[in-house]
Amino acid sequence: MIDERPLRIWIDDHNPIFRLGLGACLEPPFLLAGESARFAPQPDLIRTDILVFELDGAGLPNALRLTKDSGVLLVAIASSVEDELLVEAIEAGVTGALLRGDANPNTFLHTLRSAAAGNGSLPTAVLGRLLSRPRVGLRGAGDLTDRELGVLRLLSKGETTNQIAADLCYSEKTVKNIVHDVLVRMNCRNRAQAVALATRRGLI
Protein backbone atom coordinates (compact mmCIF):
# COMPACT_ATOMS: atom_id res chain seq x y z
CA MET A 1 0.00 0.00 0.00
CA ILE A 2 1.32 3.37 -1.02
CA ASP A 3 -0.28 5.34 1.79
CA GLU A 4 -1.69 3.84 4.96
CA ARG A 5 -3.70 6.90 5.90
CA PRO A 6 -7.34 5.82 6.27
CA LEU A 7 -9.38 6.69 3.20
CA ARG A 8 -13.06 7.26 3.73
CA ILE A 9 -15.43 5.90 1.12
CA TRP A 10 -19.02 7.05 0.65
CA ILE A 11 -21.15 4.59 -1.30
CA ASP A 12 -24.23 5.68 -3.23
CA ASP A 13 -26.34 2.99 -4.86
CA HIS A 14 -30.11 2.67 -5.04
CA ASN A 15 -30.09 -1.08 -4.43
CA PRO A 16 -29.62 -1.79 -0.68
CA ILE A 17 -28.17 -5.28 -1.16
CA PHE A 18 -25.55 -4.19 -3.66
CA ARG A 19 -24.75 -1.11 -1.55
CA LEU A 20 -24.26 -3.16 1.62
CA GLY A 21 -22.15 -5.63 -0.36
CA LEU A 22 -19.83 -2.90 -1.65
CA GLY A 23 -19.46 -1.64 1.92
CA ALA A 24 -18.61 -5.16 3.08
CA CYS A 25 -15.83 -5.34 0.44
CA LEU A 26 -13.89 -2.51 2.10
CA GLU A 27 -10.74 -3.29 4.01
CA PRO A 28 -8.00 -1.01 5.42
CA PRO A 29 -6.97 1.61 4.51
CA PHE A 30 -10.52 2.06 3.22
CA LEU A 31 -13.28 2.85 5.69
CA LEU A 32 -16.98 3.27 5.05
CA ALA A 33 -17.82 6.95 5.55
CA GLY A 34 -21.52 6.44 4.89
CA GLU A 35 -24.03 5.35 2.31
CA SER A 36 -26.97 6.75 0.44
CA ALA A 37 -29.47 5.90 -2.28
CA ARG A 38 -29.65 8.40 -5.13
CA PHE A 39 -27.85 10.87 -2.86
CA ALA A 40 -30.41 10.65 -0.04
CA PRO A 41 -29.21 11.34 2.58
CA GLN A 42 -26.78 13.76 1.01
CA PRO A 43 -23.20 12.48 1.26
CA ASP A 44 -21.13 14.06 4.01
CA LEU A 45 -18.27 15.13 1.77
CA ILE A 46 -16.31 16.73 4.62
CA ARG A 47 -15.75 13.20 5.89
CA THR A 48 -15.28 11.55 2.51
CA ASP A 49 -12.22 10.97 0.34
CA ILE A 50 -13.81 8.93 -2.44
CA LEU A 51 -17.44 9.00 -3.55
CA VAL A 52 -18.61 5.81 -5.23
CA PHE A 53 -21.76 6.48 -7.25
CA GLU A 54 -24.06 4.88 -9.76
CA LEU A 55 -23.49 6.01 -13.31
CA ASP A 56 -26.83 7.03 -14.77
CA GLY A 57 -28.40 10.12 -16.27
CA ALA A 58 -29.01 11.73 -12.88
CA GLY A 59 -26.12 10.16 -10.95
CA LEU A 60 -23.33 11.69 -13.02
CA PRO A 61 -24.37 15.34 -12.96
CA ASN A 62 -25.37 15.05 -9.29
CA ALA A 63 -22.04 13.51 -8.31
CA LEU A 64 -20.16 16.18 -10.26
CA ARG A 65 -22.21 18.97 -8.74
CA LEU A 66 -21.85 17.67 -5.17
CA THR A 67 -18.10 17.15 -5.36
CA LYS A 68 -17.27 20.28 -7.32
CA ASP A 69 -14.21 22.01 -5.76
CA SER A 70 -14.30 19.57 -2.82
CA GLY A 71 -11.25 17.48 -3.74
CA VAL A 72 -13.35 14.32 -3.32
CA LEU A 73 -12.44 11.67 -5.91
CA LEU A 74 -15.18 10.00 -7.92
CA VAL A 75 -15.52 6.32 -8.77
CA ALA A 76 -18.46 5.31 -10.98
CA ILE A 77 -20.28 1.99 -11.02
CA ALA A 78 -21.59 1.48 -14.57
CA SER A 79 -24.23 -1.00 -15.70
CA SER A 80 -22.80 -1.63 -19.15
CA VAL A 81 -19.62 -1.09 -21.09
CA GLU A 82 -21.76 0.30 -23.90
CA ASP A 83 -22.94 3.07 -21.62
CA GLU A 84 -22.25 6.35 -23.38
CA LEU A 85 -22.17 8.03 -19.99
CA LEU A 86 -19.04 6.11 -19.10
CA VAL A 87 -16.98 8.01 -21.65
CA GLU A 88 -18.58 11.26 -20.58
CA ALA A 89 -17.84 10.48 -16.94
CA ILE A 90 -14.16 10.03 -17.68
CA GLU A 91 -14.04 13.23 -19.67
CA ALA A 92 -15.80 15.02 -16.85
CA GLY A 93 -13.16 14.02 -14.32
CA VAL A 94 -14.34 10.75 -12.81
CA THR A 95 -11.19 8.97 -11.61
CA GLY A 96 -12.20 5.34 -11.83
CA ALA A 97 -15.00 3.20 -13.14
CA LEU A 98 -16.11 -0.34 -12.56
CA LEU A 99 -18.80 -2.40 -14.28
CA ARG A 100 -21.53 -3.59 -11.96
CA GLY A 101 -21.28 -7.11 -13.30
CA ASP A 102 -17.50 -7.18 -12.73
CA ALA A 103 -17.69 -5.96 -9.14
CA ASN A 104 -16.13 -8.16 -6.49
CA PRO A 105 -13.86 -7.36 -3.54
CA ASN A 106 -10.71 -7.57 -5.70
CA THR A 107 -11.88 -5.39 -8.58
CA PHE A 108 -13.54 -2.88 -6.28
CA LEU A 109 -10.50 -2.50 -4.01
CA HIS A 110 -8.23 -2.28 -7.07
CA THR A 111 -10.36 0.52 -8.49
CA LEU A 112 -10.30 2.38 -5.16
CA ARG A 113 -6.53 1.93 -4.74
CA SER A 114 -5.87 3.21 -8.25
CA ALA A 115 -8.10 6.20 -7.67
CA ALA A 116 -6.41 6.96 -4.34
CA ALA A 117 -2.96 6.70 -5.91
CA GLY A 118 -3.97 9.22 -8.53
CA ASN A 119 -4.11 6.69 -11.34
CA GLY A 120 -7.42 6.17 -13.04
CA SER A 121 -8.75 2.68 -13.43
CA LEU A 122 -11.09 1.68 -16.21
CA PRO A 123 -12.49 -1.52 -17.61
CA THR A 124 -10.24 -2.36 -20.58
CA ALA A 125 -13.15 -2.36 -23.00
CA VAL A 126 -13.93 1.22 -22.01
CA LEU A 127 -10.36 2.33 -22.55
CA GLY A 128 -10.53 1.12 -26.15
CA ARG A 129 -13.70 3.07 -26.79
CA LEU A 130 -12.25 6.16 -25.18
CA LEU A 131 -9.13 6.11 -27.31
CA SER A 132 -11.00 5.58 -30.56
CA ARG A 133 -13.38 8.41 -29.90
CA PRO A 134 -13.16 11.75 -31.72
CA ARG A 135 -12.00 14.55 -29.45
CA VAL A 136 -14.61 16.93 -28.18
CA GLY A 137 -13.87 20.36 -26.89
CA LEU A 138 -15.59 23.32 -25.36
CA ARG A 139 -14.72 25.78 -28.12
CA GLY A 140 -16.96 28.79 -28.00
CA ALA A 141 -18.49 27.76 -24.69
CA GLY A 142 -17.81 31.21 -23.30
CA ASP A 143 -20.37 32.41 -25.76
CA LEU A 144 -23.28 30.65 -24.05
CA THR A 145 -26.08 33.06 -23.37
CA ASP A 146 -27.84 33.34 -20.01
CA ARG A 147 -30.86 31.71 -21.61
CA GLU A 148 -28.76 28.75 -22.73
CA LEU A 149 -27.13 28.45 -19.32
CA GLY A 150 -30.57 28.51 -17.71
CA VAL A 151 -31.70 25.61 -19.83
CA LEU A 152 -28.46 23.73 -19.09
CA ARG A 153 -29.05 24.19 -15.37
CA LEU A 154 -32.51 22.67 -15.63
CA LEU A 155 -31.16 19.82 -17.77
CA SER A 156 -28.64 19.11 -15.03
CA LYS A 157 -31.56 18.62 -12.64
CA GLY A 158 -32.88 15.91 -14.92
CA GLU A 159 -35.79 17.95 -16.28
CA THR A 160 -37.39 16.98 -19.56
CA THR A 161 -37.98 19.34 -22.48
CA ASN A 162 -41.58 19.54 -21.38
CA GLN A 163 -40.76 20.51 -17.80
CA ILE A 164 -38.17 23.08 -18.88
CA ALA A 165 -40.68 24.65 -21.25
CA ALA A 166 -43.18 24.90 -18.40
CA ASP A 167 -40.59 26.27 -15.94
CA LEU A 168 -39.30 28.97 -18.25
CA CYS A 169 -42.59 29.72 -19.99
CA TYR A 170 -41.13 28.86 -23.40
CA SER A 171 -42.68 26.63 -26.02
CA GLU A 172 -41.27 23.11 -26.31
CA LYS A 173 -39.99 23.99 -29.76
CA THR A 174 -38.00 26.92 -28.32
CA VAL A 175 -36.47 24.71 -25.64
CA LYS A 176 -35.46 22.16 -28.29
CA ASN A 177 -33.87 24.92 -30.37
CA ILE A 178 -31.94 26.23 -27.36
CA VAL A 179 -30.72 22.73 -26.48
CA HIS A 180 -29.66 22.24 -30.09
CA ASP A 181 -27.69 25.52 -30.04
CA VAL A 182 -26.03 24.52 -26.76
CA LEU A 183 -24.95 21.17 -28.18
CA VAL A 184 -23.53 22.81 -31.30
CA ARG A 185 -21.70 25.53 -29.34
CA MET A 186 -20.25 23.05 -26.86
CA ASN A 187 -19.47 20.55 -29.59
CA CYS A 188 -21.31 17.88 -27.60
CA ARG A 189 -23.20 14.87 -28.84
CA ASN A 190 -26.03 14.84 -26.37
CA ARG A 191 -27.54 16.57 -23.38
CA ALA A 192 -25.82 14.49 -20.72
CA GLN A 193 -22.42 15.26 -22.15
CA ALA A 194 -23.21 18.99 -22.31
CA VAL A 195 -24.33 18.94 -18.67
CA ALA A 196 -21.25 16.98 -17.59
CA LEU A 197 -18.86 19.30 -19.41
CA ALA A 198 -20.60 22.45 -18.24
CA THR A 199 -20.58 21.21 -14.64
CA ARG A 200 -16.93 20.33 -14.80
CA ARG A 201 -15.97 23.70 -16.27
CA GLY A 202 -18.00 25.44 -13.61
CA LEU A 203 -20.37 27.01 -16.15
CA ILE A 204 -23.41 25.87 -14.18
Residues in contact with another protein by CB under 8 A are: 14-25, 37, 79, 100-101, 103-105, 108
What minimum distance in Å lies between the beta carbon of 76 and another protein?
Answer: 15
Nearer to another protein among residue 21 and residue 29 (C-beta): 21
What minimum distance in Å lies between the beta carbon of 130 and another protein?
Answer: 25
What minimum distance in Å lies between the beta carbon of 98 and another protein?
Answer: 10
Nearer to another protein among residue 19 and residue 185 (C-beta): 19
What minimum distance in Å lies between the beta carbon of 101 and another protein?
Answer: 7
Q: How far, in Å, CA of 77 to CA of 85, rounded?
A: 11
Nearer to another protein among residue 78 and residue 186 (C-beta): 78
Orientation angle between helical segments 146-156 and 161-168, nearest 10 degrees: 130
CA 1 to chain centroid: 27
Nearer to another protein among residue 104 and residue 160 (C-beta): 104
What minimum distance in Å lies between the beta carbon of 20 and another protein?
Answer: 4
- DSSP conformation letters of the chain: ----S-EEEEEE-S-HHHHHHHHHH--TTEEEEEEEBTTBSPP-GGG-SEEEEE-STTHHHHHHHHHTTT--EEEEEES-TT-HHHHHHHHTT--EEEEGGG-SHHHHHHHHHHHHTT--B--HHHHHHHHTSPP---TTGGG--HHHHHHHHHHHTT--HHHHHHHHT--HHHHHHHHHHHHHHHT-SSHHHHHHHHHHTT--
Nearer to another protein among residue 37 and residue 149 (C-beta): 37
What minimum distance in Å lies between the beta carbon of 19 and another protein?
Answer: 7
Nearer to another protein among residue 106 and residue 162 (C-beta): 106
